[in-house]
C-alpha cells in the first residue's frame, strides 16, 4: 500500500538553501516541488515586459487590472529532470533568475496584496492533493497552514553571504562579499517587515539552522522529520 502523502512547507531567510533542500526532499519522497518565489518573479517579469515598471516603481493599479491575463504554471522536463516556471505558457525559468531587473523589482511586486492573493490561490490548488514540498516566505503561516510538516530554515548571515558570494563568483558576477552581505541584510529586513504576509516563524515549525550542516546532513535531518510525520499521518487516518 502507498504511504499517505503529506504537504511540507519550507520557509526562511534568503540564501539559506531552501530550494536546495526542498528539491532534494521532493526527489527523495517522490513529491512535487513548488518554488513559490519563482511565481512572484514571473509576475515581476510580466510587469517589466508590459511597461508597468518605471524608474523602480510598479504601476500597481494597472498590474492588478492585468492579473486575469497572467497565467503562471510549471512544466516538468523529463530530459533535464527539471521544473520550469511558465508565464502564459512560455518557459521563463532562465529569465526570471538571470534578469537583474526582475530581482530588483520582485520584492515590491510581492507586497501587492492582490498579487499575493492570486498566487496563494494557485499554490493552494497545486497542494490540494498533498505530496507537495513548497518553499517561500509565507507557506507554513498563510498558504498551507495545515501542512503536516513545517520547516523554518535559518543560518548565520555571514555564512549565508559567503555561500552566495561563492555562487555568484562561479557565475562570473563582479561583486564584493560586503555587497552581498549588505544586500542579504536588506532582503531579510524587507521580508520580515513588509505589511502583507511578512516572513514569520510558524510556532509549529521545526527549526533547521544549517550554518554548520552539509546539504547531505540537512537532507537526512529533514527526511527523518518527514518520515515521522508520514507515519503519524497514517496512524491518524
Ligand atoms: O525566494 P526568491 O528570492 O526567489 O523570492 C523572490 C521574491 O518573492 C522575494 O522578494 C520574496 C518574495 N516571496 C514572497 O514574498 N513570498 C513567497 N512565498 C516567496 C517569495
Q: How far apart (Å, rounded) are the C-alpha atoms in residues 8 and 226?
A: 8
| CB neighbour burial string for 168-191, b if at least 16 within 10 angstroms, e if fewer | eeeeeeeeeeeebbebbeebbebb
Ligand 1 atom 10: the closest Cα is on which residue? 107
Q: Which domains does the chain have, with CATH numbers?
A: 7-236 (3.40.50.300)
Task: Supply the pLDDT for residue 79.
Answer: 86
Q: Taking Cα atoms as reference points, which of 172, 152, 155, 149 lies closest to residue 232?
A: 149
**Residue 220 predicted with pLDDT over 80:** yes
Q: Give per-residue pLDDT as tens, 56-74.
A: 999 999 999 999 999 999 9
Mean pLDDT of the residues in the chain: 94
Q: Which three cell numbers stand for residue 48?
A: 517589466
> 1 CA to middle of ligand 1, Å?
37
> CB–CB of 74/86 below 8 Å?
yes
- Per-residue confidence at 98, pLDDT binned at 50, 70, 90? confident
Q: How far apart (Å, rounded) are the C-alpha atoms in residues 183 and 212?
A: 22
Helix 157-170 and helix 177-193, axial crossing angle in degrees, nearest 10: 120
**Residue 1 predicted with pLDDT over 50:** no
DSSP 3-state assignment of 83?
A: strand
Q: Which of 98-102, 148-152, 232-236 has the lowest mean pLDDT?
A: 232-236
pTM > 0.85: yes or no? yes
> CB–CB of 91/75 below 8 Å?
yes
Mutate to test the pocket of ligand 1, among 106, 139, 142, 199 (most ligand atoms within 8 A of CB): 106
Q: Give per-residue pLDDT as tens, 161-214.
A: 999 899 889 988 888 999 999 989 988 998 999 999 999 999 999 999 999 999
Amino acid at each position: 500500500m502507498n504511504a499517505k502523502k503529506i504537504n511540507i512547507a519550507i520557509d526562511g531567510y534568503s540564501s539559506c538553501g531552501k530550494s536546495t533542500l526542498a528539491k532534494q526532499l521532493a526527489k527523495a519522497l517522490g513529491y512535487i516541488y513548488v518554488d513559490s518565489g519563482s511565481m512572484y518573479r514571473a509576475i515581476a517579469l510580466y510587469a517589466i515586459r508590459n511597461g508597468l515598471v518605471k524608474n523602480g516603481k510598479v504601476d500597481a493599479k494597472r498590474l492588478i487590472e492585468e492579473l486575469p491575463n497572467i497565467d503562471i504554471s510549471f512544466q516538468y522536463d523529463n530530459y533535464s529532470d527539471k521544473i520550469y516556471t511558465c508565464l502564459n505558457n512560455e518557459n521563463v525559468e532562465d529569465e526570471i533568475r538571470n534578469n537583474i531587473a526582475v530581482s530588483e523589482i520582485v520584492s515590491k511586486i510581492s507586497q501587492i496584496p492582490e498579487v499575493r492573493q492570486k498566487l496563494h490561490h494557485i499554490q493552494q490548488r497545486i497542494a490540494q492533493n498533498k505530496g507537495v514540498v513548497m518553499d517561500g516566505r509565507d507557506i507554513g503561516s498563510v498558504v498551507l497552514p495545515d501542512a503536516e510538516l513545517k520547516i523554518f530554515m535559518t543560518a548565520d548571515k555571514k555564512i549565508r553571504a559567503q555561500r552566495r558570494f561563492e555562487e555568484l563568483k562561479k557565475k562570473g558576477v563582479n561583486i564584493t562579499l560586503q555587497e552581498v552581505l549588505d544586500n542579504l541584510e536588506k532582503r531579510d529586513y524587507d521580508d520580515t517587515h513588509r505589511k502583507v504576509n511578512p516572513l514569520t516563524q510558524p510556532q509549529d515549525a521545526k527549526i533547521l539552522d544549517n550554518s554548520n550542516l552539509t546539504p547531505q546532513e540537512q537532507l537526512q535531518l529533514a527526511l527523518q522529520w518527514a518520515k515521522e510525520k508520514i507515519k503519524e499521518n497514517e496512524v491518524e487516518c
